[in-house]
Amino acid sequence: MSEHILKLDTVGSGSYAPADVSFLLRQVSIEMTSVAEKERLIQSNQRHYSEMISEEHPPTTTHMDLYARALLQNGDRMAIDVQALGLTLNKLYSGQSIALVSFVRAGLPLGVLLRRALADMGREAKHYGISIIRDRGIDTVALEAIIKIHGAENIVFVDGWTGKGAISGEIRRSLAGDTRFPADPRLVVLADPCGKAWLSASAEDWIIPSGILGATVSGLVSRSIWPRDGGLHGCVVYDHLREHDVTRSFIDDIAGRVRALGAVDAAQPWTAEQAASLQANALGVIAGLAERFAITNLNRVKPGIAEATRALLRRVPDHVLVRSRDDQDVQLLMHLTERAGIAVEAAGDLLGPYRAVTIIRSVN
């Protein structure tokens, strides 16, 4: 079953190099839903967000210019963080191979870069892209296929960053009672301002260059789609964005920087005290925003630069708050709010560990 399912009815490696990742996602055809209609159906509980998808448009010239600026500004930082995480995984995983299991889509660039970094350290690492869906869980068909090949003890889950920690919580719920995994699933991210990951390069909310693009930096696949008939979760392949695709050039850029690095300190898992402090700080900010804006469903609060930016592109925003309008890391966010005609509030230290937060509009 395992070797069979890795080749059957999947999208292969998308626009990544075949050695960099195997997607355990099947290509589906689905009618596109407008952003406004999708928001209405989500908030009225008529449809789950994972059952719908909106058209993804090519990034504007300004958007790409800001991506290029973020790469110039933070490319070296990302390389250092990738190497720091890779060194820790190389030390803590003693099995013959490491199975990197990235969550589509935000985890994909980091997973690819970690695979390359580990290979440069002489470690055998395989990388898979699978789906996890908030409130519905991990793709167990895909995960079981990986376990058959590598064993659960050699799996590390990869995502790009944490916002409120929803995906971390979803992993815990999905794997609860599965004694093949530790109680605290091994989730690795670049940035963990809410203290919910097992291993992170930092707790800082910063502009990860790959976090400000969608399919065009993630193999030309959509976010994952819930399968009504069971089996592998699905995705849409965005062939119409192929001429805008920077997936491979981004990976080659950061991987080249990683190889050019000198000595780097390995990342350290949070202590219990560090995690508790980060979690309390983040949850306090979110609770304060929920009270201020009379929000009962915390899914309407999208904290962190990457989440706040994606919410502007994929949802119907109502308020955008930034720590400072002059912050270079929120310039894409400022550009998108200007296009959408949304006012931006400079909230300063009220945002705690976050440098930006988007509040989704209530449409009910």
Each residue's pLDDT, cut to its tens digit, for the chain (364 residues) gives 345 445 557 899 999 999 999 999 999 989 999 988 998 999 888 998 999 999 999 999 999 998 999 999 999 999 999 999 999 999 999 878 899 999 999 999 999 999 999 999 999 999 999 999 998 999 999 999 999 999 999 999 999 999 999 999 999 999 999 999 998 889 999 999 999 999 999 999 999 999 989 999 999 999 999 998 888 999 999 999 999 999 999 999 999 999 999 899 999 999 999 999 999 999 999 999 999 999 999 999 999 999 999 888 888 899 999 999 999 999 989 988 998 899 899 999 999 999 999 999 988 6
Position 122 scores a pLDDT of 94
Residue 278 CA to residue 275 CA, distance in Å, equals 5
Position 7 scores a pLDDT of 52
* Helix or strand run (H / E) with residue 139: none
Question: Exposed, middle or buried, 127 (CB in 10 Å: 0-12/13-18/19+)?
Answer: buried
Q: Are 233 and 227 contacting, i.e. CB atoms less than 8 angstroms apart?
A: yes
Residue 17 CA to residue 278 CA, distance in Å, equals 37
Which residues make Cβ contacts (< 8 Å) with residue 96, sequence separation at least 6? 124, 154
Domain ranges of the chain: 2-259, 272-360
* Helix or strand run (H / E) with residue 282: helix 272-292
Position 4 scores a pLDDT of 46
Position 184 scores a pLDDT of 87
Tell me which architecture the domain covering 272-360 has in CATH: 2-Layer Sandwich (3.30)
Residue 215 CA to residue 238 CA, distance in Å, equals 7
Question: Percentage helix, strand, coil, to 5, in the chain?
Answer: 45, 15, 40
Rg (CA), the chain: 19
Position 100 scores a pLDDT of 98
Please give the distance of CA 4 from its chain centroid, rounded to a whole number.
Answer: 28
